[in-house]
Each structure stands twice: as structure tokens, then as C-alpha cells.
Structure 1
Amino acid sequence: MAKQQIEDKIRDKLAIKLNLIEDGLTYIDDEYHLKNPNGAGGFVDIFANDTNNNFVIIEVKRSDAASREAITELSKYVALLKRKKNLKNSEIRLIVISTHWHELLVPFSEFYHATNYQLSGFKLTVDKDYNPISVEKIEALPEIEGRNICRRHFIRYYKTYDDLLDSKKEIVKQATTLGIHDFILVVFNLNFVDPFYGATKVLYWAPQLKSREFYIEKLTEVLDSESLNEILETIDELDDEDALDELSERLDGEIDVTCETCEIGYPEKLTDRLNEMWSLEKVFKHGVFQEDERLSEPMILMDLKGLNGASFMHFFSTLKSENRSKFNEIESNIETPFFNNSIWKHDVKDIISYCKKKTHSTMLISIFNKDDIFETIWQSISCRDSKLWAPRFFVIVDPNDSSKAVEFFSGEIVWERKQFEINNIIQESFKNFEEYLFARHFGEQRQHNHLLMEKMGLKYVTNYKKVGKKVETDLNDILIRNKTISEKSKIETVPFDTFLTENINELMILFNYFENAHVGNGMFANF
């Protein structure tokens, strides 16, 4: 019997036994015709209705060769059905049912994670007469998140390059034994004299982030029961992201090699070191990182510095307006740099929604957000340049057309000329400056930042400029609603520089607290 005749027979017999798939499915039609005004139409194998009054498209396949076409056909049919009946996405369900899943599982899984339609898959068992006997629900493969480097890194210091290379070989060997295959090793030069260890080189370890199941499986193989239970109890109290960081660090810590000294690394620390003391010498890619020929040293450095959304301070990205996946990625990734800044997080998400409506445009997004107004004041006075330290962001929307205007969104801190006493603010929030430093050591000062700013009369605002040959708009402290940009209620404010200048005597109290406690390289006495 021909393949199509067999599929037709299975389809016809399944159409009267839809309860095998799900109770409450109601048959509407088979070979349901969908016309296409822009090309070839199509025929839905089984068209049904569920108990929630949603339409259900059921695609039936019985061979590996035929199953390859299933996802393409589903994509076509759902688009035609939406147009024909003016449906919402939530009113359509998709079901793939096949006797063979060898060729179908990967494309099904990718479509499952990429689409917002309700999609289900089932493996169908038939008897010798092609009567449907049973179905088994298919679970999609885990979503492939793409390149995702752990936030926690390992930094090892060496006196000579030969010492470093010997250690590198041992790291690769031990990592392989542990089941860690996907990682990056970077060699940095120290551009200063190390008075403590005489180190001249750094070997920087950064692995791909894996699943909780992966780490627990690998740790079970190398830890005794007491140590394993200890780490499992620790992660029970953490959210998913922090738990994965802890598990990754614990497994990475099983790599034991000789070095002068070592320390934990993370994106913000690497950014500081590269700005001050380190320079890149070489990158070694292992495992999946080797497979991407596009993955250049600058791209790797951007990932290691967390500019893709792993850093709590920095973010940078460019995209074309047509790249919807990039928009979604950015919306998710800005959660980290704006973790404690709900005002700018809300504003930038509104800006992204605004930009999504643009066509043929290029966007650039840059964020620097250090949630520590005390340190911002100290560093700004110390460097005599607040532009290096004041939190800010900007989004540039370029229409790539000289006849159209370029749009600029920018975030800044402004002052409402409120009077304050710095010692009172410190006492109310931390009791004393030493308690602030203690909170800062654990990153807990971030959650106080908004209140500290409020007590000094500081606030985050977002501004807008539109510049072109015929149009020039300049709005401060804006509100975005869909395509409309307007100013909020007018309250007199002045720039952050003015705040520093007009309050310099009061702020020098804070400055001196920092200077008296600072011992160099961002370190403070007793911390």
C-alpha cells in the first residue's frame, strides 16, 4: 500500500478515536482545506475543537521521511487558519502525532521552545491493520540556551608563562575527568609589579553554565555523602540562578592545580582589572566554544565581562529592528543590570517596546548602573569627573535614512535641591559608616540605594532627543506609552554635577570616610 494511502487510513481511524489523544476533543473535519491568497493552500489532516473551545490542528505522520515535513506544514496551516478565521494565538492548538520520531524530535523541540502556540506531540502505536492502539506523550528536548558562561570564574596567578602552560594542561585533564568539556581559558598579562607573589600572568577559567541535574550528577561522583548533602542543603535556600552558580563553583573547585595564588572572578571584577591592570594575551576555546568559528576574542571578552546581561553594572548590545529574537534576549538580559533599579528597568523596557515598532533601523543600547550612590559620590569627587562614575544609559535609534531623524534616549541622575546631612543619612540607614562597608562587602547596600538617593533629593530620570534636518525634540524626565513620548509633571531639577558642587562641604564628610578606610584596589580596611 502506498505511503499516502497508509497515512490516510491511520488518519481516518484516528479521527473517530480522538479520545486516545485527549478527552473532550471534538472532530470537526479531516483534510480541512485552507486557502492561501499568497500561494499554495493546504489540507489539515484532522481539524478539531477542545473543551475550552480552541481550534486544534492535528498533523498525522507515519514515517521518518514524512515526519520531516510536519513542522513546516504546521507553521503554514496555523498562519492560514489565523487569517481565515481572525483568531488569537491563544485560540489555536497544534498537535503532531507520528508513529516515528527519530527525525521529528529535534525540529519539534525547537519549534516547541520558539513558538507561543500550545504545541503537543504524541507517538502513535497502530496494529497491523493500522488501527490506533495507544499514544504516548512526547517530551520536548531541553531548550538549548546558547552560549551562557557562568557568572563565577576562577583566576589563577603564575610567575612564568611556562608555569601557566603546565597548569593549563592539568586543568584540561582534570576538567575532562570531571565531565566538564565546555569552557574557556584566557591568558592575561599583569601590567604592574606584583609585590606579594611575583606573578606576571593570569590564567582565567570560565565554563559554560549547565543544568542543576548535570552538576548534581557530577558532584555525586566526586563528593562524599556529607559534603554532597551540605551543598544540597545550601542550594535549597537559593533561587535557581544562585543555586546554579553555587553548584558550578563547587564542581569547578574540584580542579586542583599548582599556582602562586587564586581567587574567584566575576564579570564586574574582570571589567575593573582590564581597565586598570590586565591586558589580553591569548584565548583557548574548548568543547562547544570551539565549534563557533565566529566566536572571536572580542566577543569572548564581552561575554566574560557580562556585557550580554550577566553583569550587575554593565550592558551593551546592538541590533537591527528586524531581529525579534534579539529584542526578546535584551528584554530578559537587562533584568540583571537593573536588578535594584525598577525605575530605569521599566523605562528601558518601554523604550524597547517603542523600538520594536520601528522598521529598517539600527539600535544601540549601553548601560552603566552601579547601585551604590555613596561610592558614586566618592569616586566622582576623587576623579573630579562624575561622567566616569555616575550611573547612566543611552539608547540610540538610527533609521539608516538621512532624511529621517535619529532618536536618543538617555538616563541620568538629577537633584531636586533637597537639603540633607550625610551623617544623619548614614545613621538612619546603617548606624555608622563601618556598617555600610560591611553591607557593601556582601552587596547588600544595593537594596538601600533608592532610599539613600531619595533622602538626598536624587532621582533617576529618562530623557529624549530627536534630531534630524527638519525635526528637533528635547524632552526631559519622559513617559512612554506605545508610540507617544511626553514629559512628566515639571519639577525643577539640576544635573548631578551641580549636586556635587553645591554640596561639596557636606559630601566631603562621606569622601573622607572612604579615604580613611580605603587601602587600595577597591579594598577597605577589615573587609
Structure 2
Amino acid sequence: MADHLESRIRDYLADHLELLESNLTLISREYKLDNEFGAGGFIDILARDAFGHFVVIEIKRSDQAARAAIHELQKYVALLRADQGLRPDQVRAILVSTHWHELAVPFSEYLKISDVPTEGFILVAEQSGVVTSATVYRANELAQPLIASCCQDLILFTDVATRDANYPRVISAAQRAGLSDFFILSLDYRGDNQKVIFPHGIYLVFSSPFQTMSAREIRATKRRISWDAEIEPADENFLVEFRRKLGFMGDSNEIGNPEKLATILSSGWQVAVAHRAGRYSTNQQLLSNRDLVIAATRQEGGAAYYLTSTASPKYSPSWLKLKQSARDVLVGDDHWGAVFRGILAEVARTRPNATVSVNIYNPARIVLGLAKLFRYKDMSYLPKLQVVVEDSAEIHLYHGELAWNGQAVTMSAQQWLTRAFGSANDFLFKQHFGLVHEDEAAARQLLGLASFVVEIANVGGTNQKISLLESSNGRLRRTAPQNLPTGSIAQFVETNGQFGFSLLEELSNVSTGWVD
């Protein structure tokens, strides 16, 4: 749904709430939720039912990642509870969308951990916004969720016959590496790019075996495949074991990931599902081949620099997955990593039934972030962190971003890049090989920039409290918010225009068009 269509659907539903449920009464469309640090937003439709419950109705945008939609829904429910002083049993939620392929797994996971009753509706709508059908969505009943790992594998071949003959070896190697839930895609190039010399591929995608294992089974698996705790992301250990079992194969071998596969598929390659194993096979009626391709290219659950997830300590598989994914995403920001681990540990220890919704973006690429900011005033490339923790007792929000110490930058961009990375060329080299995160903290510090996390405890209550969070020996330490750095990123840009000009000039000299 395009944004303008979504707004028309919102307006039509607001006038025809009976399509979702009889006796719903409209309170407001685009109900505003205010909050410190910009963590608020607008509920698409707020209504009340015949029993007096507040009903949060959210329409998933077409350009919104599925897990981001779940995060927004949970955040709005939490903020409404805080705004109105409501218990979980006084609130309900409804998520509506015209497409449910990407929503299926994250919505099913959310239903298992949320204390707020939530329903989904499949809409059929005309371009005018008129809703012709609204059907209750029946959530997947998977014993444990199938979540395609961002660690994937690609084997390329010159000819198709050799590729096809090697499927059995790949399947056997995957099984011997301990993978049970996996599928294999066949890739065939149909474009006209003469630089593509290996036009046929086998692409392996798997759901981490740990999703269905007990803690004892996980420990046994790690011993069996010589687990290396230093490898990040952790699932890459399974690919290492897969490669050991497979041996030499193909004309070229590459590590895959959702972003790479999405790029491949948009560049003249055709894809087909060649093999399904484990629950990917037994759930064929539930998960079509198209669903598998979507799962393999899905990026919203988490990758090297972003994570959107909803979990609870009471549901251990997703809780473990959240901790593992966050560790990978927060590489390059030790402060955020320590504070986030402290938040999860504290929640597990003191609020084991809470629902935790996380949205983290941490590219650990301050050079790119500042270049985009100085040229386009675009702050979307800068790191940000948001966590909502909700249970029957209280709601806590955690908000993180970059701040500035207020001291003007006196060095040029060339001097900065040299001191932080060795040189501009060294920076580009490290970026190409994914090593810039190693110098991220030092690069920020040279400019007076640092990340922080603020906690807003008991949101909306009479005892609401705002604290600056630090980590000490694995525990959270709370201090007064007055200890925050004095300047914002916007003030940094306004004050250091000459530095910004030199940064853009230096980058254009070493790599034409890099910022664009």
C-alpha cells in the first residue's frame, strides 16, 4: 500500500469500524502520543469496544519492515497505557495489512509474548481506500519460529549441469553440519552483463538449529562442531562446519547475506527453490516457495548493523536470539553494547514476564553518517537505539543516540581521518573489508561525539524518572540526566561547518561520488 492509499484506508476504516468488529466507537484517527526524546508517534485509529477497552488499530505501511511494524504497535500500546494510566487488561490491539507474507512469523512470535490481546486482519481494498473485505488473520502455529539466518552461503558454477549434479552433496553436507531446517535456492543469470562469468549458483539458507534446542543440546552442539565464540555473527559457525563437510566445490565460493541476495535478485538473476528440508519441508502448505525467498532476503529482523525485534525472557528461544543478534549489531559501540546487555540482564532478573521491543541502528560508520549529514542534513545514517519494556506493573523506555560535548572541531577532515584511520585511503580500505568499526570509538572521540542511553522509567506515571545509563561490572548504573553531553548533533553541524566542508571535499578527492 502506498502512503496515500494507507491514509485513505485509515479514513475509511475510521468511518466503518464495523468491518473489524461491531460496537467499536471511534475516539480519534492519528491519535498523538507525546514523549521525551522523540519516542512518541501517532496511532492510526484509536477506538473503544463495547466493554470499555481502548483499541489500538494500526495499519502496516507497504514500505515498513514487518518487525518494525510489530515494534511500532507494541510501542504505541505501551505509550497509550502510560498516557492514560491503563492496565494491560484495559487495552487491545489490532494490526491490519493487505499483505501478510512478511508479517506471518513476527506476528506469531509477538502473540506468544504480549500481555495485550492482539488480533490481525487481512484487508482487501480498492485504490480509493474503500475496504471490501476484512478477514481475521489466523496466526501460524509453529512450535518454534523458523527464522532465516542472515548467515548464508553461495556456490557459483560455470555450467548448469555441474551445478545440478552437486545438489545431493550440498544437502548431505548441510545435514552433517547439524542443520535440519534449511532450504536451497538455485540461481541462474539471465542478464546481459558480460562480467558475470559464473552464471549458475547454489544458495544455502538455514534457520539456526538453536531455535529448537534446549540449553544442554546447545552446549553439546557447540562442542561437537568446535564452536568459536569469537566468530560474529555466531551462526557463521554453522557455515564453517558446512564448508568442512562439503570440501571443495564449484568455481567460486562466497559468504551470502539477505542484502547480497536481494541485490543478486534485482540484477538479472532468476531464483527457484531447489530443495526444502526439515520444517521448511513439512510446512509447505503454510510457507510457499515465494515465502521462502522473501524470508531469505528479509532484512528487518537484523543484520550487521540494524535490529528490530520483540521478545520476552519467558520465551527463551527468541530471547536468546535477541541477545545474539544485538551483540553482532552493537559491534563498534562498546558503551551501547554494555548498557544494552545490562538492560536485558536486569529485565530477565526483575521482570521475567515483560515484553521487550528493540529497534537498533548502528552502522559504526561515523564518516558516512557525518558526510550525509553535512551534505543533505540527513540524520538517518547516524546510530540510534530504542527499547520499550512493558509488563503489567510499569513501562520503561530506553533511548540512545549521539551527543556532542560542545567543543568546536579545530582540525581538518584530512587530519581527522589520518588520526582516526591512518589516512583517507586507509579509511576506504577498512570500509571495503568491513573493518571501520575497529576505529569508530576513537573517530567519534576526536570530534567530541559520544553515544548515550537515557532511561524513562514509569512512563507517564506520577513517579516518572529520567536517568542517564552507564554500565559497571555488568550492572546498570543510573545518574542524573544533567550529566548528558551539552550539545546535539544538529548543533555540531551548525557549529562545525568548515570541518564539514573539508570532509566532503576530502572524500570527493579520494573516491568520486562516494557520498552520493
Which entry has the higher C-alpha Rg, 1 or 2?
Answer: 1
Q: Find the partner of 2:248 among 249, 254, 274.
A: 254
Q: Deviations over 1:353-374 (max 9, x none)?
A: 2322236542211222112211
State the shift of 1:453 in Å. Answer: 0.5
Distance in structure 2 (CA, Å) of the matches to 1:308 and 1:502: 37
Q: Find the partner of 1:318 among 310, 314, 317.
A: 310
Do the aligned residues in 1 keep the contact of 2:387 with 2:397 (CA within 8 Å)?
yes
Distance in structure 2 (CA, Å) of the matches to 1:321 and 1:155: 38
Do the aligned residues in 2 keep the contact of 1:194 with 1:200 (CA within 8 Å)?
no
Letter in 1 for 2:319: F
Q: Say which SS state the counterpart of residue 456 (structure 2) adopts.
A: strand
Aligned residues: 347
Q: Deviations over 1:233-258 (max 9, x none)?
A: xx99x86967765554566673437x
Distance in structure 2 (CA, Å) of the matches to 1:391 and 1:363: 20
Do the aligned residues in 2 keep the contact of 1:186 with 1:283 (CA within 8 Å)?
yes
Distance in structure 2 (CA, Å) of the matches to 1:319 and 1:191: 41
Distance in structure 1 (CA, Å) of the matches to 2:260 and 2:449: 27
Match of 2:408 in 1: 419
State the shift of 1:450 in Å. Answer: 0.4
Q: Find the partner of 2:503 among 504, 507, 510.
A: 510
Match of 2:277 in 1: 287
Label 1:437 to 1:282 Cα distance change in 2 as closer, same or farther (>3 A): same
State the shift of 1:149 in Å. Answer: 4.4
Match of 1:385 in 2: 378
RMSD between superposed Cα atoms in Å: 5.0
Match of 1:372 in 2: 365
Distance in structure 1 (CA, Å) of the matches to 2:240 and 2:201: 23
Match of 1:184 in 2: 183
Q: Deviations over 1:455-505 (max 9, x none)?
A: 100101012335755448463633479798543662443332332333233
Percent identity over paired residues: 14
Q: Say which SS state the counterpart of residue 477 (structure 1) adopts.
A: strand
State the shift of 1:448 in Å. Answer: 1.0
Distance in structure 2 (CA, Å) of the matches to 1:410 and 1:381: 24
For the pair 1:172 / 2:167, whether they are aligned, the reply is yes
Match of 1:436 in 2: 427
Do the aligned residues in 2 keep the contact of 1:150 with 1:209 (CA within 8 Å)?
no
Q: Deviations over 1:30-66 (max 9, x none)?
A: xxxxxxxxxxxxxxxxxxxxxxxxxxxxxxxxxxxxx
Label 1:299 to 1:512 Cα distance change in 2 as closer, same or farther (>3 A): farther
State the shift of 1:347 in Å. Answer: 0.9
Q: Say which SS state the counterpart of residue 354 (structure 1) adopts.
A: helix
Letter in 2 for 1:460: S
Distance in structure 2 (CA, Å) of the matches to 1:265 and 1:425: 34
Do the aligned residues in 1 keep the contact of 2:258 with 2:299 (CA within 8 Å)?
yes
For the pair 1:153 / 2:142, whether they are aligned, the reply is no
Q: Say which SS state the counterpart of residue 328 (structure 2) adopts.
A: coil
State the shift of 1:386 in Å. Answer: 1.2
Label 1:251 to 1:176 Cα distance change in 2 as closer, same or farther (>3 A): same
Q: Find the partner of 1:450 among 441, 446, 449.
A: 441
State the shift of 1:271 in Å. Answer: 7.0
Distance in structure 2 (CA, Å) of the matches to 1:440 and 1:323: 37
Q: Say which SS state the counterpart of residue 419 (structure 1) adopts.
A: coil
State the shift of 1:452 in Å. Answer: 0.7
Letter in 1 for 2:323: E
Distance in structure 1 (CA, Å) of the matches to 2:248 and 2:206: 14
Do the aligned residues in 2 keep the contact of 1:154 with 1:265 (CA within 8 Å)?
yes
Distance in structure 2 (CA, Å) of the matches to 1:480 and 1:171: 51
Match of 1:398 in 2: 390
Distance in structure 2 (CA, Å) of the matches to 1:512 and 1:305: 36
Distance in structure 1 (CA, Å) of the matches to 2:188 and 2:496: 41
Label 1:408 to 1:267 Cα distance change in 2 as closer, same or farther (>3 A): same
State the shift of 1:215 in Å. Answer: 8.2
Do the aligned residues in 2 keep the contact of 1:155 with 1:263 (CA within 8 Å)?
yes
Letter in 2 for 1:344: W
Structure having greater relative contact order (Cα 8 Å, sep ≥ 6):
2
Label 1:191 to 1:370 Cα distance change in 2 as closer, same or farther (>3 A): farther
1:92-171 matches, cutoff 5 A = 149=149, 151-154=151-154, 169-171=164-166
Distance in structure 2 (CA, Å) of the matches to 1:278 and 1:396: 41
1:266-345 matches, cutoff 5 A = 266-267=257-258, 269-270=260-261, 286-291=276-281, 293=283, 311-345=303-337
Greater CA deviation, 322-331 or 469-478?
469-478
Distance in structure 2 (CA, Å) of the matches to 1:419 and 1:466: 34
Label 1:195 to 1:521 Cα distance change in 2 as closer, same or farther (>3 A): farther
Q: Say which SS state the counterpart of residue 454 (structure 1) adopts.
A: helix
Letter in 2 for 1:288: G
Q: Find the partner of 1:490 among 483, 486, 490.
A: 483
Label 1:272 to 1:473 Cα distance change in 2 as closer, same or farther (>3 A): farther
Distance in structure 1 (CA, Å) of the matches to 2:364 and 2:154: 25
Distance in structure 1 (CA, Å) of the matches to 2:366 and 2:456: 26
Label 1:461 to 1:327 Cα distance change in 2 as closer, same or farther (>3 A): same
Structure 1, unaligned stretches of length 5 or more?
A: 1-143, 217-234
